[in-house]
Chains A and B, each alone.
Chain A
C-alpha cells in the first residue's frame, strides 16, 4: 500500500464502505462458486470477472479465471483466433480484451495483473497481433508517467516479441541481410525514442537506461564499431549531458549515464590488470616449474580447451605455442560450494574467477626476453564481465511464453593480450610481465554463423582529459556538486592514478556527502594503497622486494588490484588500520607472513613457498 495518508478517524466506520465490502465479498463468493461448478464457457462468468476486476485489478485469481474462460471460448469458437480485424467471432474476443485493458491501464497503470494479461492476450493472438499499436500505447502511457516501470517492461517484452517475429517470419536466402537491416533500423528507432523522452525531461533514468542498452546493442552490430565513430559519438553524448548537468547538477540520472559513458571510454569491462610468471620448485620432482598467473578486473570464465599461450622471441622470430593447462588461481575456493545443497553434478562446467593460472608443462619455461601472447576465449555465462556484452545478445531473448530460448549458439568472447617479459627480472621467483595496451585488445564476440568483431574502444586519453576539464569547469560554478567531484575522481583514476588530488577529493566527498561516507572511505583507502605500494615497489631497486608496510595509514580496505604490483612479496604489515577483511590479499600468492589487527576477518591461507631462482 503506497502513498496513502493516515487518516485521523477510522474510515471503516462509514456504513457505505462496509456495504461495499459486503458487496465485494459476495461477488468473490459467487466467483468461487461459479468456478467450482466449472462454469468456464459462460458469458455471465466473464461478466462477473469483469465486475471484480473493475473493483480491484490486482485480484490475480480473478484474472486466472477470466483467462480460463477466454481459453474455453476460443476453443469453442468456430473461427480461428486470428481474424483479420473483423471484430466479430473469437478473434474479436481478444480484440475486445485489448480494448478493455487499454481503458483499465489508463485507470490503473501500475497494476501488475493488467500488464501481464495484456501480454498474455497478445501471445494468444499469435502472428496477427499488432505490435506497432502496442508500442504506440506504451508511448502514450509513458507520456502520462514517464517512469512507469511496468510500461517500460512491457515495451521491452514487445521489442523482444518483434525481434522474435522478425527472426521467424522472414524465410528465404536473402533474409539474413534484410533482417540485419531491420534490426538496426529498430535499434535506431529506439534510440530516437529515448531521445524524445529525454528531451522532454532530462531526469528520466528509465530512458537513459534504454539509451545505454540500445547504444551497446548498436555498437555490436557489424559495421557500427569504428573506433573514431565511437569516440565522436561519445563526445556528442557528453556534450548533450552537459546541458542537463548545468541545469540540474545534482540529478542522478545524468550522472549515472555519464559514469557509464566514461567507463566505456576509459575502462573496458574486462581488463587484464596484471600478469606474472611464477616459478616454484617441486620438492618431489626436484625441478622448477613455471606458471603464468593472470589477473583480471572482473570475474570471468576462461574456456580452457580453446585458449592458448604463445611465446614470441624476437631473436630468430620464434613463435611457439606452449603447452599447459588453465585453472582458477584458487581452484579450491572456486570449487567450494557455499550452498552445500547444490548437488555435485550441478557444478558449472566453467569455473569463474578473476585470477587464473596457466601451468606450463614440465620442461617448458618462459625465456628472459620474449613476448607472451595470450589467446583467451571466455564463455559468456560466467563471471561478472559479460553483462556489457550480453546486451548484444539480448534481442534473441526468449522469455517464457511462445518465444523460444536463444538459438543454440553459445556466445563467447575472444581476446588477445600481449605481454612483454622484461629483460631483468628482479622479484625473486616472480617475473612481472608488462601488459601491453590491454584496452586495445581485439574482442571478438562470436555467435552462430555470424561473428561480430568489435574493436574495443581504446582508453581515449584525450577524450578523458577533455572531460576532466569540463568537470573542473562545472566545479567552478557548482563546487559542492558531489557527483561532479566523484566523476573527477573516476577520471583521475583512469588518467593519473597516482595523483594526490585523488586522495584529497575522496576526503572531500566524505564531508560533501556524509550519507555515503563509508563508500568514499573505501575508495580513498584503495587509492592510498595503490600509491603506497607503487612507492615501495619502485624504491626497491636492489634485489627483490621482500615486504610491504601498510601499517597505520587509516586504511579501511585492501584491494587486490592495488596490491598486485607487490606480487612476489613474502611479508605484509597491515596492522593499526580499520580494515574489515583481508580477502584483498588473495592475489599475493607468495605471502608467508601477515601482520594484522586482531579480529580482522578472512586471513588468506599462507603459502610457505619454497622458491627457486
Chain B
C-alpha cells in the first residue's frame, strides 16, 4: 500500500462517532437496493453491528447485561479531527410498510430482541430473517446477539440445543441445515452454541473434533472439508472448534503459526491464502487463531492496525475490505475485533478469540475461558 504523499490520505485514528453512526443507521433505509440485496444476511448483520457497538462500549446495558433502550445519540465522544461529511441518504425512520422486515440497530433493544425471536423456526433453529429457513450459522448469530445484549433467558435452550445437535452427522461433522451442506464453519457454530447453552452432552464432542482434525493440512492450517486447500477463515473455525472441543493438541502450533504469520502482506494487511490480496476481514480470523495458539507476537501488529484504520471511510464511517473501498458492517466488525485483539485503540473492549464475544460478556456468562493467558 503506497502511503505516499500524493495518494489520498487515509485515516490513522479510530473514527468513533462515524463508525457508530454507520452501524446505527445501517438498517434505516429498508428500501435501498443494498438493503434488499442483503436479505439473506440480516441476522449476521445484526450480530456484526451489535457486537461492534458492544466492543466500542456504545451499547447501553446495565450491570447485569440487561438491555436498556439506548439513547441512540451518536455523538457521545468527540471525533478525532476529521470532518464528518454526511454519508448516504440516511434519513431513517421511513414508513416501512412496503418494505422487508428487519432489525433496528438504533438502540431499541426490545425491538431488536423481539425481531430475533421472531426469526426462530418452530424446529428450534433460527433463520436469517422472519420466515426464513433455520440455519446453523444464523442460529449461532442469534445466540451470540442474545449473549451480548444479556437476553439469553428468552431462549428455550433445550429446543435450540436439540436442533443444533440434530445437525451432527455420523462422522462428527455438522450440516448447515436440512439440505446437508457440510463445512467446518458449522462445526465451530455447533460447538460454540452448545458450549454457551451448556448442552454438549447432546453431541459427540470427540467425533466433532475428529472431523475437524481431518481438515488439517500439510501446511499446518485447516480447510472447509477434508482435502481442500487451507484457508484463513476456516482455520479460525477449526482452531476455535478444537479449542472448544479441548483438542488443541491436534494443531501443530509452530507450523500453523508460520502459515498464519505468512498471511501478513507488505502493506500490513492479511490475506486469506498464499499470494492473494489483503483484506480487513482476515485480520480477525488470523489474529484470533494466533491468539488461541499463543503466537500473536509473530506478526507486526502496528502495521496491521494501520491497515485496518486506513480502511475506514472517513466520510460515511464504517470499515471496508481495504482502503478506499465501500464500507460494510461485516468488515466493520472484523476490523474492530482485530483492533481489539491488537489492543491498538484505547477504549475498545477486549474480545475473546474463540467465542468472538466481548470478554466481559464471556465473564458475565461464566463461559469456560479455554485459553492459557490471563
Contact = CB atoms under 8 A, between A and B. Distances in A.
A395 to B, nearest CB: 9
Nearest to A8: B315
A384 B173 contact: no
A153 B228 CA distance: 6
Nearest to B374: A601
Nearest to A155: B228
A384 B36 contact: no
A25 interface: yes
A384 B252 contact: yes
21 contacts: A2-B279, A2-B321, A12-B33, A18-B31, A18-B32, A61-B128, A67-B179, A120-B180, A123-B180, A149-B228, A156-B227, A159-B227, A206-B229, A337-B246, A339-B370, A354-B249, A382-B249, A384-B249, A391-B218, A516-B298, A583-B372
A502 to B, nearest CB: 16
A82 interface: no
Interface of A: 1-7, 10, 12-13, 17-18, 20-22, 24-25, 28-29, 32, 35-36, 55-56, 58-61, 64, 67, 116, 119-120, 123, 147, 149, 152-153, 156-157, 159-160, 203, 205-206, 209-210, 212-213, 216, 251-253, 256, 259-260, 298-299, 337-343, 345-349, 352-354, 381-384, 386-388, 390-391, 394, 397-401, 404-406, 514-519, 522, 580-581, 583, 601-602
Interface in B188-231: 195, 198, 200-201, 204-206, 209-210, 213-214, 216-219, 224-231
A593 B231 CA distance: 43
A298 B252 contact: yes
- Between A120, A299, A343, A387, the greatest number of chain B beta carbons within 10 A of the residue's beta carbon is seen for A387
A6 B245 CA distance: 41
Contact of A64 (B133, B173, B372): B133
Interface string B173-184: 101010111100
A516 B219 contact: no
B67 interface: no
A213 B99 contact: no
Interface of B: 29, 31-37, 39-40, 87-89, 98-100, 127-128, 131-133, 135, 169-171, 173, 175, 177, 179-182, 195, 198, 200-201, 204-206, 209-210, 213-214, 216-219, 224-231, 243-247, 249-252, 257-259, 261-262, 264, 266, 268, 273-276, 279, 294-295, 297-300, 303, 313, 320-321, 324-328, 330-331, 368-373
A400 B275 contact: no
Q: Most A CB atoms within 10 A — which of B87, B200, B251, B298? A: B298
Contact of A25 (B99, B214, B244, B276): B99
Interface centre among A149, A206, A386, A581 (most CB of B within 10 A): A149
Nearest to A397: B226
B36 A581 contact: no
A400 B172 CA distance: 10
A64 B229 contact: no
A581 B131 CA distance: 51
B227 A12 contact: no
B314 to A, nearest CB: 10
Contacts of B227: 156, 159-160, 213, 391, 394, 397
Given A299-B249, A339-B368, 11 more contacts: A18-B32, A25-B31, A61-B40, A147-B275, A205-B229, A342-B245, A383-B249, A388-B218, A394-B226, A394-B227, A399-B171
Given A28-B100, A399-B225, A515-B264, A352 B246 contact: no
B216 A390 contact: yes
Contacts of A2: 279, 321, 325
A383 B210 CA distance: 10
B326 A6 contact: yes
Contacts of A61: 39-40, 127-128, 132-133
A518 B296 CA distance: 9
B330 A1 contact: yes
A205 B87 CA distance: 40
Contact of A400 (B182, B228, B274): B182
Contact of B217 (A12, A159, A209): A209
Contacts of A10: 87-89
B274 A397 contact: no
Given A10-B89, A515-B299, A581-B372, A149 B229 contact: yes
- Sorted nearest first, the 4 A-B pairs with minimum C-beta distance are A400-B182, A518-B297, A21-B33, A299-B249
A400 B169 contact: yes
A345 B202 CA distance: 12
A253 B274 contact: yes
Contacts of B231: 149
A381 B211 CA distance: 9
Given A397-B214, A516-B261, A341 B368 contact: yes
A594 B327 CA distance: 52
A383 B37 CA distance: 44
A337 B245 CA distance: 9
A154 B372 CA distance: 38
A209 B321 contact: no
User: Which of A343, A400, A404 lies at the interface centre, i.e. has the most chain B CB atoms within 10 A of its CB?
Assistant: A400
Contacts of A212: 218
B180 to A, nearest CB: 5
B257 A400 contact: no
A12 B34 contact: yes
Contacts of A159: 227
B218 A216 contact: yes
Contacts of B268: 515
Contacts of A383: 249-250
B298 A522 contact: yes
B204 to A, nearest CB: 7
B181 A153 contact: no
Contacts of A387: 213, 216-218, 252
A516 B299 contact: yes
Contacts of A251: 275
A287 B82 CA distance: 77
Contacts of A152: 228-229
B78 to A, nearest CB: 25
A1 B275 contact: no
A224 B73 CA distance: 70
B258 A519 contact: yes
Contacts of A397: 171, 214, 226-227
B252 A516 contact: no
Given A2-B279, A341-B195, A405-B170, A58 B216 contact: no
Contacts of A209: 217-219, 229-230
A21 B29 CA distance: 11
B83 to A, nearest CB: 15
Contacts of B100: 25, 28-29
A397 B169 CA distance: 13
B39 A20 contact: no
Contacts of A384: 216, 249-252
Nearest to A208: B274
A156 B225 contact: yes
B321 A3 contact: yes
B372 A60 contact: no
A404 B228 CA distance: 19
B180 A400 contact: yes
Nearest to A522: B298
Contacts of A340: 368
Nearest to A354: B249
Nearest to A14: B33
B119 to A, nearest CB: 12
A24 B33 contact: yes
A138 to B, nearest CB: 12
A12 B90 CA distance: 10
A388 B135 CA distance: 33
A400 B99 contact: no
Given A383-B250, A518-B297, A147 B273 contact: yes
A64 B176 CA distance: 12
Contacts of A583: 372
B303 A515 contact: yes
A342 B171 contact: no
